[in-house]
Amino acid sequence: MMEHLLLDVTDVSKRFGGIHALDSVGLKVPHGSIVGLIGPNGAGKTTFFNVITGLYPADSGMFLFDGKFYVPESVSEVTQSGLARTFQNIRLFGEMSVLENVMVGCHCRSSAGVIGAIFRFPSTKREERSIRDKSLQLLAYVGLSEYAAMEARNLSYGHQRRLEIARALATEPKLLALDEPAAGMNATEKLELRELLLRIRADGKTILLIEHDVSLVMGICDSLTVLDYGKVIASGKPADVRVHPEVIRAYLGQGAA
Amino acid sequence: MKGFRIVLKEALFNRLPRSAYLWIGIIALIILPWVVGASGGNYWVRVLDFALLYIVLALGLNVVVGFAGLLDLGYIAFYALGAYSFALLASPHLPQQFETIAAAFPEGMHFSPWIVAVFSIILAALFGIILGFPTLQLRGDYLAIVTLGFGEIIRIFMNNLDRPFNLTNGPKGITAIDPIQLFGISFAKPLDLGFIQIPGLYLVFYLFVLLAISVAIVCLHLQNSRIGRAWVAIREDEIAAKAMGINTRNMKLLAFAIGASFAGVAGVLFSAFQGFVSPESFTLWESIVVLAMVVLGGIGHIPGVILGAVLLAIFPEVLRGIAQPLQQALFGHVIIDVEIIRQLIYGLALILIMLYRPGGIWQKGGNNS
């Protein structure tokens, strides 16, 4: 069973002062799947993302990624190991062009140093060309080719979210962790996003998804984990989770259950 | 206005092939000191020489402040390190003070400025990293305060290291520093080519032009590289930069080190050119002037930074030249002291430019004023 899991996190706890933001949270993400992490506002979803990607230090927990134990301490090292993320509040490099944003994503898969950058050796030039080509391909992949030269901050909201995904893909992740990618999108954009996510999965990537949009989550996720007040209250196939009494209580209130 | 700009651009750039502009530029730079020297005298050629050193300084600071977004108010300290390195290694000061050194160098200490330049690149880069390490977690105002302190510490050391043993000669500074030499040609006296004599100041100008162009090319190459993109990413959003797998610590230290090394080289040439250094040349005011060149010209934009450096290096000298005659012509006598009026107009110009062009005179992308 173990070898089929890309991410296996158990017993993660995180306190902020007196608040137990995460209380023994566990999550398993099998290779090639789309796993959804849902829950009401303030349930601890983003905190969980921040902990597994090394942005916040965990108080406790076991972290297994791609068959190796790791301690999420450094965001950049987590990304280098193949776990890339996007942010709920979009964090693009606003004054850089759309293409440059993706090129930054290629940073950890390229190697030119200062000397190479200054003297532009043939090998540096070759690497630079391949970074550019790869980034242009990724822009085409998410459908942003026509905006390549535009400053990222001038993109529409939905396009900014897609650019974040392209940028994360540029780091060549095994696991793509998306924090509410559909937030602020209209119905058409959500449909396009759904297609994009399915395509990414079909191309061999695994996706961990925080999302509020229930229809999107139910439609594409292979399994769901539901958080409420920092605890896992249900986990399993979308159809089962949907009718779980705890989930209904968390979303609709005590009386509904 | 926009239509006019386009017409102007067409007229300037689309009529001739690019190589023609390159040649026009080269010829213009070759004859510039002769024209300036003939019309304004050597004083103005010196002003030009210093303007070129300021270009190197501003480009170096632009790496730290413009690219990586790290506000550094103590930048001039690295200039001081370079200047004092050469002053100590190529003047009679150390042999006079320490017998062992005098014994080791019976002919006096005369290190080549080029060897010292390499040495100061390493030394300044090292100090850049030393400054960078404790400040890695700091941003904005807090970083500015620490770097300001660092700059002052270096200056105060230079000012006080004449006791208990005389290393820097304190506020009196170090004199009789060797002039710049290249292939046995001294830049302190005219070069006789047989048909023409090139004054030393003009030689210095040519050398500094080459230096400034090389530094500009290095900056341009860095900007359009994996390293430069990582710096800008850190400036724009440090957490997102980390999430792209960028080792932000190393990249920030690298920015400090590279910026510092440019200042180190400029410092060596400054001290060789001037023949004299003292702590007075490395005050906080100098750091602020270089920062003003970067911000005013167009932060993060190399041509803008060069323009800013040239303008702010030359403008005060122009004011110095016209303030007195202008007052005399208008009022018959000097009402306000020239130095005061110079500072006033200088400050006013800075305020006006920042009000009307907050992104700098020549910012990235051009027309977005």
Question: pLDDT tens, B237-282?
Answer: 999 999 999 999 999 999 999 999 999 999 999 999 999 999 999 9
What pLDDT, in 10s, does the model give residues B31-43?
999 999 888 889 9
The band of B11, judged by pLDDT with boundaries at 50, 70 and 90, is: low
The band of A208, judged by pLDDT with boundaries at 50, 70 and 90, is: very high
Q: Where are the alpha helices (DSSP H) in B174-301?
A: 200-223, 226-236, 238-243, 248-274, 284-298
The band of B189, judged by pLDDT with boundaries at 50, 70 and 90, is: confident
CA-nearest residue to B255 within chain A is A114
Smallest CA-to-CA distance from B353 within B287, B289, B293 is with B293
Contact yes or no for A79/A109 (Cβ under 8 A): no
Please state, in angstroms and as integers, the Cα–Cα distance from residue B268 to each residue in A129, A196, B63, B123, B271, following that order: 37, 57, 20, 12, 5
CB-nearest partner of A117 from B221, B240, B248: B221
What's the pLDDT at B15?
66
**A2: pLDDT strictly greater than 90:** no
B248 to chain A, any CB pair closer than 8 A? The answer is yes
Residues B57-81: what's their mean pLDDT? 95
Q: Please give the backbone phi and psi of residue B129, each rounded to the nearest 5 degrees, phi first.
A: -70, -40
* Residues of B (267-296) whose Cβ lies below 8 Å from A: none
Residues A149-174: what's their mean pLDDT? 95
What's the pLDDT at B332?
79
List residues of A whose CB lies inside 8 A of any B CB.
53, 55, 74-76, 79-80, 84-85, 87, 91-96, 100, 103-110, 112-114, 116-120, 124, 127-128, 131, 167-168, 170-171
Dihedral sign (CA A234, A239, A245, A249): positive
Contact yes or no for A29/A7 (Cβ under 8 A): yes
Between chains, do A128 and B226 touch, taking CB under 8 Å as contact? Answer: yes
Residues B10-23: what's their mean pLDDT? 75
**B30: pLDDT strictly greater than 50:** yes
How far, in Å, CA of A222 to CA of A236, rounded?
9
Residues A72-90: what's their mean pLDDT? 94
CA-nearest residue to B364 within chain A is A95
Smallest CA-to-CA distance from B119 within B156, B84, B69 is with B84
Residues B64-83: what's their mean pLDDT? 95
What's the pLDDT at B206?
94
Give the gap in angstroms from C-alpha B318 to the nearest C-alpha of chain A. 36
What's the pLDDT at A255?
61
Q: Which amino acid is at B23?
A: W
Residues B128-155: what's their mean pLDDT? 90
What's the pLDDT at A256?
54
What's the pLDDT at B216?
97
A-B contacts at Cβ under 8 angstroms: 99
Between chains, do A75 and B239 touch, taking CB under 8 Å as contact? Answer: yes
How far, in Å, CA of A86 to CA of A92, rounded?
10
**B195: pLDDT strictly greater than 70:** yes
What's the pLDDT at B235?
95
How far, in Å, CA of A21 to CA of A13, rounded?
7
CB-nearest partner of B244 from A107, A117, A118: A107
Dihedral sign (CA B140, B245, B301, B259): positive
Residues A1-19: what's their mean pLDDT? 85
Contact yes or no for B37/B270 (Cβ under 8 A): no
In sequence order, the β-bridge partners of residue A19 are: A16
- Measured in residues, chain B has a length of 369
What pLDDT, in 10s, does the model give residues B142-186?
999 999 999 999 999 999 999 888 999 999 999 999 999 888 888
Between chains, do A103 and B258 touch, taking CB under 8 Å as contact? Answer: no
Which token pair is B273? 């050119």
CA-nearest residue to A76 within chain B is B245
The band of B1, judged by pLDDT with boundaries at 50, 70 and 90, is: low
What's the pLDDT at B368?
42
Q: Which residue has the higher pLDDT, A150 or B192?
A: A150
What pLDDT, in 10s, does the model give residues B216-234?
999 999 999 999 999 999 9
What pLDDT, in 10s, does the model give residues B300-350?
999 999 999 999 999 888 888 887 788 888 887 877 787 788 788 888 988
Q: What percent of chain B has pLDDT over 70?
A: 95
Q: Is A2 exposed, middle or buried (0-12, 13-18, 19+ CB in 10 A)?
A: exposed
Smallest CA-to-CA distance from B362 within B294, B313, B316 is with B294
**A231: pLDDT strictly greater than 90:** yes
Smallest CA-to-CA distance from A175 within A1, A7, A62 is with A7
